Amino acid sequence: MSASGQLRPVINLNSCEGKGVCAHLCPQQVFEVRQLTAAERGPLSLAGKLRSLLHSGRQAIAVRAADCIGCGRCVAECPEEAIRLVPAD
């Protein structure tokens, strides 16, 4: 586990199905599941856009990425394997 702010979660929105496992288990409440904005949907692949439609446009977003402590629970438990931890900028 790293100190807060050393790692940040990156979500592959083309893979995320918005099940919210990450939001429920994150000890730092880094994630929320919400409907994507038009700007967030724009760069999705065709498959990602279709997946988003199937789930009412709801996906996980790392709204407090700077609070991530790098525990890796989100990465390990994401059913779509849509989350990875990367060094914070």
Domains of the chain (ranges, CATH numbers): 7-87 (3.30.70.20)
| Cα-Cα-Cα-Cα dihedral sign, residues 82, 40, 33, 5 | positive
- DSSP three-state, residue 18: coil
Give the per-residue pLDDT at 3. 64
Give the per-residue pLDDT at 1. 63
Give the per-residue pLDDT at 4. 65
Classify residue 63 as left (phi > 0), alpha (psi -120 to 50) or beta.
Answer: alpha
Stretches where the chain sits below pLDDT 70 are 1-4
